[in-house]
Amino acid sequence: MTKFQYIIKSFLHYFKANLLVAIGVAISTMVLTGSLVIGDSVRHSLTQATFYRLGETTHLVAVKERYFRQEMATEMETANPDLKATSVLLLEGMAVADGGQERANKVQVVGVNTDFEEIANTPFFTELQNNEIAISENLAERLQKGAGDNILVRIKKASLIPMNAPFVSAEETSVALRATIKKVVGKEELGRFSLKNSQTAPYNIFISIERLNRLMEFEGKANQILVSTELKTEVVSEVVNSCLTPADAGLTLKKLDIGREVEISTERVFMEPKISDLLGSLPGADMILTYFVNAIDHNQSSVPYSFVSSVTEPKLRPNEIILNRWAADDFNANIGDTIRLQYFEIGPLRQLVNEEASFILKDIIPMDSPLADPTRVPHLPGLSDAGHCREWEAGVPIDLDAIREKDEKYWDDYKGTPKAFISTESALRLWSNRFGDFTAVRFPVASFNEEEYKKEFAAAILPADLGMVVEPIRQQGVHAAQNGTDFSGLFIGLSFFILVASIILTALLFRLNLESRSTQIGLLVALGFQQKHIRRFYLSEGFVVSLFGAIVGLVISWFYTQLIFRILNSLWFDIVRTNVLEIQLMPTTLVIGLLISLVVSLVAIAVSLRRFQKQKAVDLQKQVAVKEKHLKTSILSGVLWGTLVLSVVVFIIQLMAEQADASMFFMSGGLMLVGLLLLFRKLLMKRETKKAREFQFKQLPAINLTRNISRSITIVTLFALGTFIVISTGSYKMDLIAGANKKTSGTGGFLYFAETTMPVLFDINNENKKAEEGMYEDFNVVQFRKVDGDDASCLNLNRIAQPAILGVDTENLAGRFDFAAQMKGLEIDPWQSLETDFDDGTIPAIADQTVIQWGLA
């Protein structure tokens, strides 16, 4: 008989016993391989979700809170035929159905044109006309509507002017549209369209970009360009740069009526410093800053609500002012008199601060002077287009009772013609703001060259200067999907007890198999077989058993993965935030799972075999247990008392600490678990040495426990580990309600939080504003300004590189939340560190959760 025949015949002869060992191997293989397959499948599903939400898009050209020309996409295709581009106007809104009974917030409203079909791979979008829309499947399910139904869409009002810029009306923050659903689009038709790295499918509404422009009172504007190309990002950036024009920066060039000057103004009211610096460097530039003041005062007289403009008159000193004849005659002002200007400075949340500045009257100009020009006033919606003064919507409080008949007459005759003029230096000192410094630049027609102006603009202004970025969005999406949450490690961790238990069970079952064959092993030893030959026999047999069990485990892992994904796509939907998880079987993963399972199983078998082989041949034949050595007993006794004492010490330290530490908790519990298991072993050993000579039936359980001490300890260890993990994990679960009213708690003392779809541009704590909005409850609010980004919470399975950025008045958060450690080198309140200037580019705080837009406390 050959060795191989002996191994196979032994395997078959003890098949029932070997089958039990194989079951243990199969369980460990199922858990291990299943966890690896789940990790591969989640990464594959997230990658597929990236393709579903981007379609054919490879690169994204985007801006924040500004807009560029739709034609820019066509110009990019002309500049480089190796790319396809389409302009998109992406806004936020909400959808309402059945009179408000069904509602969906945080809806993406996507303005598209016919070029979008090349990105979406569907010809449907050319069919959207007027108020027709297409909606995503998840939105249709949420609203319980389908093709042919009508819904109300309320869209966040987009503005070419920054919403918090001075004198911009905040009355209209949304636009309503009664729309007809043309079609419900699925994931294959880009129904999951999203530019954020997230597996969560947003609610989408697709509408004609021309219709969306009209709703926003725009013409030909977009804020995203989707690009499909094999070109590198650097090449795409060069194409964008070559197509950038002053119009994309919001600049408008026009000749004035008098024909002697040309003016460059901005649709954003105030020019960014880099643009104004460029224009100011051109020959003949006349920089203009015009501001709306509350009053021009002289002695006891006052002219309400007027525009004041800057002039570059070199003879005008910083403390001097010029009035037009109408204003001077209104309060009988003379050269040398003191003139005061009252005006608002607009801070965060449109908080108004009354300011005042005094000047000496230097000159009075006639009403036909070139300076008495209504075109010096920038276009301000709600002001410039108002028919009467009483129709003004200036974004600041207007006292209509202060407006006189002569003021109405002045508006009818001269519109917003400035009534006063101060030096450019004084205007910048008083009214320069975070949105820009100047409102217009004028040039003499004779010295202005439009081609030279565009050439200088192209050389000096880059897309990044306008907040325009070019991103390889597909590459970023795939990277985020492949390097996100490690579900392999997560499920191995969640199944750790099962995995360890199956390995211990394998060793235990193999040990039982050996014990049932102890006479056979003793016989082989007595016949002269060396220990290494016997070990090879049983390891080879163990390999056959393990291989059989591992193969069975691979098959079972498929059903295990199916069960887990069914749970993830249904019961755990709120955790994974997607229902598109698909199983991906990779041969390398199956081989790795098989090999690891075999190695672990063989190690467990080898350890059991080695311990078993320490017994003498005569003892094996008689099935007599070997007595433990004194040194080993002493070492285990030392470990027993050491772990118990150390666990108590760690426990006492935790009681004295201000904040509980999870690692210290598990260390204390783990040490106590080891100590108690060793104590149980010691009691069994002590009981085994004191066996009664006469058998008594009531002693049978104790005798059975001591018959095979290692087996008894193994079984107790299995139950102890399971009990410890379940109870310790459950006991460490945090109670969100406990201490929620304390400012230092995890809630910061806030009772509620909310995130708005439409911007809240005012201070909700202001009693007057509360009354205007119909809120009469007594509460305080901490408001946050949020720059949108990827969801950085634990609900996003992707790796995040661009989290949302939150702005807050740090004084409102002082003393709230308990920080584990102070920032290195700072001895101030952690929130106050946000006010600190860091020259090394350090970011003072990064949150691991997307925080609220505003909170109630």
* Euclidean distance between CA atoms 746 and 820, whole angstroms: 11
Query: 424, 353, 373, 389: which is closest to 166 by C-alpha?
Result: 353
DSSP output for 407-447: HHHHHHHHTT--SEEEEHHHHHHHH-BTTBS-SEEEEETTT
Query: What mean pLDDT value characterizes the chain?
Result: 82
- Lay out the sheet containing 440-444: strands in order across: 251-255, 261-266, 440-444, 286-288
> CA 459 to CA 461: how far, in whole Å?
6
Whether the per-residue pLDDT at 848 is higher than 50: the answer is no
pLDDT tens per residue across span 574-630: 666 666 677 888 888 888 888 888 888 888 788 777 766 665 444 544 455 555 566
Cα 139 to Cα 79, 185, 570, 701: the distances in Å are 38, 10, 18, 64
Q: Return d(Cα 476, Cα 489) in angstroms, integer.
A: 23
Per-domain residue ranges of the chain: 1-54+489-614, 59-244, 250-459, 624-733, 736-857
Q: Give the SS3 label for residue 149.
A: coil
Q: Is the pLDDT of residue 772 over 80?
A: no
Residue 829 region by backbone torsions, left for phi larger than 0, else alpha for psi between -120 and 50, else beta: beta
- 309, containing H or E segment: strand 301-311
Q: What is the mean pLDDT of residues 363-376?
A: 90
461-507 pLDDT tens trace:
999 999 899 999 999 999 988 887 777 777 777 666 667 777 777 77
The mean-pLDDT minimum among 113-127, 304-318, 615-629, 837-851 falls in 837-851
State how far Cα 636 lies from the chain centre.
51
Structure tokens that stand for 39 in this block: 């990790």
- Cβ neighbours of 422 (radius 10 Å): 30
- Which of 56-60, 219-223, 668-672 bottoms out in mean pLDDT, i.e. has the lowest? 668-672
- Its pTM stands at 0.78
Q: How far apart, in Å, are the Cα atoms of 278 and each of 252, 274, 287, 441, 454?
A: 15, 6, 11, 11, 11
Q: How far apart are CA 273 and CA 437, in angstroms?
A: 6
Q: Which of 330-344, 625-639, 677-691 has the highest average model confidence (pLDDT)?
A: 330-344
| Cβ(222)–Cβ(88) below 8 Å | yes
Give the pLDDT band of residue 732 (cuts 50, 70, 90).
low
Report yes or no: 696 and 678 within 8 Å, Cβ to Cβ. Answer: no
Residues 286 and 424 sit within 8 Å (Cβ to Cβ): no
Range with the poorest average pLDDT among 104-108, 160-164, 516-520: 516-520
Of the ranges 210-224, 529-543, 597-611, 618-632, the best mean pLDDT one: 210-224
- Which stretches within 100-252 are classed as H helix? 116-120, 137-143, 209-215, 233-243
Counting Cβ atoms within 10 Å, is residue 759 exposed (0-12), middle (13-18) or buried (19+)?
middle
φ and ψ of 499, to 5 deg: -65, -50
Helices (H), 55-106: 71-79
pLDDT at 856: 41
What is the Rg, in whole angstroms, of the alpha carbon atoms belonging to the chain?
39
More confident residue, 740 or 403: 403
In three-state secondary structure terms, 287 is strand
Q: What is the pLDDT of residue 693?
A: 54
CA distance 514 to 501: 20
- Contacts (Cβ under 8 Å, ≥6 apart) of 10: 537, 541
Contact criterion met (CB below 8 Å) for 389 and 403: yes
CB 80 within 8 A of CB 231: yes
